Amino acid sequence: MVIEWLQFRVPVADQARYIATDEAIWSAALAQNDGYLGKEVWCRHDDPQALNLVIRWASRAAWKAVPQDLLAATDAAFVAAMGQSYPVLGCVDYEVL
């Protein structure tokens, strides 16, 4: 299993809407792909605006096989729904041993 770890900065006042919109748009789109196992959203107690999305994939190949046009269309839909972009501040991947 591979973990895709994404970090975002989202104001606390926007977080409930961000998480719900992410679930409705991003999680639904990713779930269409073989190898997508699920996602969790983590927040840091020492930095409440820092949100980490922990996405589980069956393999690195499954993760990297997600079509780029699907990613672009999903990102555009998310930005339109939120009314703004939340840039990725960091992306790390881990292999579960």
Q: Counting beta carbons within 10 angstroms of the beta carbon of residue 5, is it exposed (0 to 12), middle (13 to 18) or buried (19 or more)? A: middle
Query: CA 25, 31, 35, 40 torsion: positive or negative?
Result: positive
pTM of the prediction?
Answer: 0.92
Question: pLDDT value at position 46?
Answer: 96
Question: pLDDT value at position 7?
Answer: 97
Give the separation between CA 20 and CA 79, rounded to whole angstroms: 13
Residue 86 structure tokens: 């939340």
Give the separation between CA 6 and CA 69, rounded to whole angstroms: 19
Give pLDDT tens digits for 26-64: 999 999 999 999 999 999 999 999 999 999 999 999 999
Question: pLDDT value at position 21?
Answer: 98
pLDDT category, 73, cuts 50, 70, 90?
very high
Domains of the chain: 2-95 (3.30.70.100)
